[in-house]
Amino acid sequence: MVILQSIGMKPYLSEIFDIVGWVFVWQATDQYFLERYDLKMNDRYWNALTNAKIHFVPFDHQENRIVKSSKSL
């Protein structure tokens, strides 16, 4: 941060700005590369669930079992 020191800024303030800048760069990198993967996996999960085939089968609630039918759905 030679530029900040050349305009009369104290060296410790220059270092603080340097650290803050690296934190912002790391945060952007983390969000783009690491968190994007988690969001992509979550999106794939919900897309698979949304596009899943659903089959309804008759259920006998009194006997608590699936009723076998002769015709296919």
72 pLDDT band, cuts 50/70/90, is low
Number of domains present in the structure of the chain = 1
Mean predicted confidence (pLDDT) in 60-70: 83
* Nearest Cα to Cα of residue 1 among 18, 26, 24: 18
Question: Token pair 């009723």 is at which residue?
Answer: 67
- Model confidence, pTM: 0.41
Residue 52 has pLDDT above 60, yes or no: yes
Start-end of H helices in 1-73: 2-6, 11-29, 36-50
Residue 47 has pLDDT above 80, yes or no: yes
Residues 6+ apart with CB under 8 A from 66: 57, 58, 59, 60
Q: Would you say residue 52 lies in a domain?
A: yes
Q: Would you say residue 60 lies in a domain?
A: yes
Torsion, Cα of 43, 46, 51, 52 (10° steps): 140
Question: Token pair 């969000």 is at which residue?
Answer: 31
Which residues constitute the domain of residue 44? 30-68
